[in-house]
Structure 1
Amino acid sequence: MTLRAVVEGVGHYLPDRIVPNSEFEKSLDTSDEWIRTRSGIERRHFAADDQTTSDLAVRAARAALGDAGLSASDVDGIIVATSTPDLTFPSVATMVQQELGMTRGFAFDVQAVCAGFVYALTNANALIVAGQAQCLLVIGAETFSRIMDWNDRSTCVLFGDGAGALVLRGQEGKGSNEDRGILSADLNSDGRYREMLYVDGGVSTTGEAGKLRMQGNPLFRQAVEKLASTAETALAKIGLSGADVDWIVPHQANIRIIQGTAKKMGVSMDHVIVTVQDHGNTSAASIPLALSVGVERGQIKRGDLLLSEAIGGGLAWGSVVLRW
């Protein structure tokens, strides 16, 4: 028998404010057509002035716990993937822990930008398989609207705010790729590419949060190659290929990256969960948001084989294969 980290619940939260592409036409030399053609994005959500990343994370966490039929007292630990924490410290995860009324266990953040949720899932899986926890809450939450340069039309139109969460519980499997739960993962990073996507501020440099900077075209080329490669590596670890996948649930950065990766893997877009048109790029929140929406739409069903892959600043990238 093999211990697996199985998804027991999923949920998400999006702020009330919906920002269509047309809103940017008032202040930037851009248009709805320009944004849609280059990114596939039609609208995104922005947090209210008094909403923080932890606020969004708590809403998603409660939704996931409700879906699992569990309470905070059943959870051994919380892992939050985010690059936009409320404060430098303490972690967003401890703030979520407090708001949920959870007084035992552990909580910590993971920072790998857009790849953050894949990194968080991989860490959660390792903790469950190692016997360090039985039930974990894994959250991706971001307020990227707080680090946008509103004069840079190449970046500020791409990002949005939101949160998604999964509840993972340890469950015995047979040790085959037919088991439910996380079956394999692949993580990578290469600091040589850090200037392709970064924020120009920080605690030990400017003392300020800074603004997001991106080299779009070079990053696009790196993304398609690296996402397809990590996906194929994760699948090969368990003797599978793209043809075996029911759904690719990718990081929702850009429709052209999503399409390019699927094509490179030989997977039809009919088997890809796409939410980028409604959410924009929500960084570490995009995969759990897409998972939750995929379930809500009735696309993702129990027993389906899912592949999630993401790339973000660092560069950091990776993938996870799981059976729902």
Structure 2
Amino acid sequence: MSRSAARITAIGSYVPEKRLTNLDLEQLVETNDEWILQRTGIRERRIAGEHEFTSDISTKAVQDLAERYGKSFDDVDLIIACTMTPDFKTPSVAAMVQAKLNIPNAGTIDLNAACAGFSYGLQMANGLITSGLHKKILVIGAETFSKILDYTDRSTCILFGDGGGAVLVEHDADNPSFIESHMGTNGALANNLYCTDLAGEMFGEDLAARNVVWQNGREVYKWAVNTVPKGVNALMDKAGVAPSDVDWFVPHSANLRIIESICTRSGLSLDNTIYSLEYYGNTSAGSIPLSLAEGVKDGRIKAGDQLLLYGFGGGLTHAGMLVKWSI
């Protein structure tokens, strides 16, 4: 990757108030707290209100960022909202955020790379700023997955939650955040994790579920634990760093068993891994910014730390980056 001229200068987050615990799920499907905790590491997840949508979560995450860092958005020139659960097909979530926060001079775009969305959004922001096309970009990762779940399907409803986070990326050629990146896709496996829209078939075959998230958990697990460690190692090789040089690994918070396997196979330390799944569940594109925000709030992540971020999920697609934290 060519030398970056972009720096992450602020971060914020938001999760809905309503909690859905494992004990609550025992009343909905055939499961129990011990079974969920052992297989996923999740204790509870947050659920958006009936009239609370992804643009609301995104707006509140950006407001949190502004309050924590005293940032103004008058000169933000682009908003990238990473999500697969938009309020509408159009307008975009990013356009709704622009309206709700009255940001006067910003372009807006939504990006859908499912659980890898935030990593892709950061990569796009870095490229646009480093190229000189933009100076100040809001990158948001947020979801309301509860609105596309089948709460009779225990293979999915126990996993996902709602929430999100946002970062501000600004031009700074002297102290850039972005060191190296890596990405890839195996679209041939897309039918293992999907949520339908206009089409009801894929690769010539009818799909089992309509308008709700469906996944073949076994196949997604196999893909993740084989693909992501290779991607992590490719990223470190390109950057010329060893696992011991990484201060914090911040993966997509899919499932603790997946994260444990990725750490074992890539040589990264689980003790130096930050995830948000225990109390928020799998929040798709929201999981990495939520993890980052939690790590900053509790003092684990400090200025100067080297972080390895890695998103992976529906597509099946994955993207990671090595960043120097400088807030």
Q: Tell me the TM-score normalized by structure 2.
A: 0.94
Listed one character per residue, the Cα deviations across residues 65-110 of structure 1 (whole Å, up to 9, x for unaligned) are: 3333211203111101000000011110011011111121211010
* Separation in structure 2 between the aligned mates of residue 2 and residue 262 of structure 1, nearest angstrom: 28
Contact 1:45 1:279 in 2 (8 A): yes
Are 1:165 and 2:160 an aligned pair?
Answer: no
Q: In 2, are the aligned partners of 1:81 and 1:111 still within 8 Å (CA)?
A: yes
Q: Cα deviation per residue 1:95-148 (whole Å; 9 max; x = unaligned)?
A: 101111112121101001001111111111100111111111100010000110
Give, in whole Å, the separation in 2 of the partners of 1:125 and 1:153: 38
Q: C-alpha separation between the residues in 2 aligned to 1:63 and 1:80?
A: 16
Structure 1 residue aligned with 2:27: 26
Equivalence for 1:184: 180
Alignment map for 1:204-215 (pairs within 5 Å): 204-205=199-200, 210-215=211-216
* RMSD of Structure 2 on Structure 1 (CA): 1.6
Amino acid in structure 1 at the alignment position of 2:248:
W
For the 8 Å contact 2:4–2:177, the answer to whether it is kept is: no
Distance 2:152 2:210 in 1: 17
Amino acid at match of 2:181: A
Aligned partner of 1:82 in structure 2 is 83
8 Å CA contact retained: 1:65, 1:167? no
Q: Distance in 1 between matches of 2:320 and 2:3?
A: 21
| TM-score (normalised: structure 1) | 0.94
Q: CA, structure 1 residues 209+61, in 2 after alignment: closer, same or farther (shift >3 Å)? A: farther
**Separation of aligned partners in 2, 1:222 and 1:62:** 37
Q: How far apart are the structure 2 equivalents of 1:318 and 1:111?
A: 13
Equivalent-residue separation in structure 2 for 1:105 and 1:28 (angstroms):
44
CA deviation after TM superposition for structure 1 residue 6, in Å: 1.0
Partner of 2:206: none
Give the CA deviation at 1:268: 1.8
| Structure 2 spans left out of the alignment, 5+ residues | 202-208
Report the 3-state secondary structure (helix = DSSP H, G, I; strand = E; otherwise coil) of the residue aligned with 2:236. helix
Residue identity matched to 1:141? A
2:53 aligned residue? 52
Is 1:277 aligned to 2:278, yes or no?
Answer: yes
Q: What is the CA distance between 1:59 and its match in structure 2?
A: 0.4
1:196 aligned residue: 192
Further displaced range: 268-277 or 124-133: 268-277
- Helix, strand or coil for the counterpart of 1:261? helix
- 1:152-209 CA-partner distances (Å, limit 9, x unpaired): 1111110000010111111123xxxxx540111112111100011101x213559x97
What letter corresponds to residue 202 of structure 1 in structure 2?
D
Separation in structure 2 between the aligned mates of residue 289 and residue 209 of structure 1, nearest angstrom:
29
Which structure 1 residue ranges, 4+ long, deviate > 6 Å from structure 2?
none
Q: Is the counterpart of residue 138 in structure 1 residue 139 in structure 2? A: yes
Instruction: Give 1:197's aligned amino acid.
Output: L
Check conservation: 2:244, 2:268, Cα contact below 8 A: yes
Rounded Cα–Cα distance in structure 1 between residues aligned with 2:102 and 2:189: 41
User: What percentage of residue pairs aligned between the two structures are identical?
Assistant: 39
The one-letter code matched in structure 1 to 2:187 is G
Secondary structure of the corresponding residue to residue 128 of structure 1: helix
- Taking the aligned partners of 2:3 and 2:224, their CA distance within structure 1 comes to 33
